[in-house]
Amino acid sequence: MENTERPGRMVAKAVAGCAADGQHSAILVRAGIARVRRLATTETAMRRGVISLLLWVAACFTGSACAATETWVEHAEWADEFAGRNVRGTALVYDEAATTWHVHDRQRAETRFLPASTFKIFNALTALETGVVQDEHEVIRWDGVQRDIADWNRDHDLASGMRYSVVWFYQAIARRIGAGRMQAWIDRVGYGNRDIGGGIDRFWLSGNLRVSAVEQVGFLRRLAAGSLPFSARSQDIVRRLLIVDRGPDWTLRAKTGWKHHAGEPDYGWYVGWVERDARRWLFAVQIDMPQAGADAPKRIAIARHVLASVGALPPE
């Protein structure tokens, strides 16, 4: 049977399908292209021009057309920053104005890892969107369990929970959201591998969820632009929560992450973006942490060094 949809509606549906699948997930975008090609097999000759347009739109979401002008620059000199701190890892910075990816160890930047506490960003967005907390000031009472980090042993809200990276608070948030709603939002955004197996309050800490540095930057780029499928209000609140430092002409938004699971090697994240002089640089640093806590500050130090080297932050 011939497909009788109007060309404009077909283009809109193709765009929506690719976007819903997550434009930063190559596997899912390929599925979107397959849908476009299935449309193409039922088209008559007089509508072949529309087919070409549909395939071009799909190609945009894979980076084969719209992102063709993006450049990758490997920074061999950044290796010295890692070696000097006795850690291994990757550093990735995307300069939006120059459409340039700056990277040390691209292969690792494209490899997926547990997001650890960087997932608090997504968790906070979903909490606000689903109404499990009304705003960043709604308090959840401390459960009375004494934990190693003193700042965790008190009541918290979304803002303080982000500032002090309070694991128990965001676990409570995830339980309120529930597996069904969490999975629905993970799928809608197209976050990482989309797998929340391993427990509703553990999947980003020791469960099945995985995300790469490239995907982290892609997700943050959409948050910075306000183009995630969450409300403008939710995205605005979370953007405010992520501010960690400011200067006269720049703002740094960022979140740490630390994968720590007994019997397994530790690793850490530092992800976020810098706004300076109407420009934006998004970044993700991910390092091995063989010395655990002693290595934790190195995530931030490396990030600030590479950001300064590309002009995102003032010279150190």
For 174-187, the three-class secondary structure string (H helix, E strand, C coil) is HHHHCHHHHHHHHH
Q: Which residue has the tokens 């599925």?
A: 31
Which pTM does this prediction carry? 0.81
- Confidence category of residue 263, pLDDT binned at 50, 70, 90: confident
Regarding whether 184 and 102 lie in a shared domain, the answer is yes
Regarding whether 190 and 117 lie in a shared domain, the answer is yes
Q: Report helix angle 7-21 to 48-62, nearest 10.
A: 20
Residue 106 lies in a domain: yes
**pLDDT of amino acid 87:** 97
Q: Which residues contact 101 (CB under 8 A, 6 or more apart)?
A: 70, 71, 72, 73, 92, 93, 94, 95
Regarding whether 45 and 184 lie in a shared domain, the answer is no
Catalytic residue among 117, 165, 212, 309: 117
Work out the number of other CB atoms within 10 angstroms of the CB of residue 104.
23
| Higher-confidence position of 117 and 264 | 117
- Confidence category of residue 69, pLDDT binned at 50, 70, 90: confident
Q: Examine the residue annotation and report whether 117 is marked as an active-site residue of this protein.
A: yes
| Backbone CA torsion sign across 180, 182, 185, 186 | negative
Residue 2 lies in a domain: no
Regarding whether 42 and 112 lie in a shared domain, the answer is no
Q: Would you say residue 85 has pLDDT above 80?
A: yes
Q: Which residue has the tokens 């072949």?
A: 48
- The CATH number given to whatever domain includes residue 285 is 3.40.710.10
- Confidence category of residue 273, pLDDT binned at 50, 70, 90: very high
Regarding whether 23 and 171 lie in a shared domain, the answer is no
Range of the domain at 57: 7-62
Q: What is the pLDDT of residues 1-23, one digit of tens each?
A: 333 334 444 444 344 334 434 44
What's the number of domains the chain is made of?
A: 2
In the chain, what percentage of residues exceed pLDDT 70?
78
Residue 274 lies in a domain: yes
What are 45-52's contacts with CB under 8 Å, separation 24+? 47/7, 50/7, 50/10, 50/11
Regarding whether 104 and 43 lie in a shared domain, the answer is no
Regarding whether 51 and 94 lie in a shared domain, the answer is no
Q: What is the pLDDT of residues 98-144, one digit of tens each?
A: 999 999 999 999 999 999 999 999 999 999 999 999 999 999 999 99
Work out the number of other CB atoms within 10 angstroms of the CB of residue 186.
20
Q: Which two tokens mark 188? A: 């809608």
Q: What is the pLDDT of residues 200-235, one digit of tens each?
A: 999 999 999 999 999 999 999 999 999 999 999 999
Residue 211 lies in a domain: yes
Q: Would you say residue 57 has pLDDT above 60?
A: no
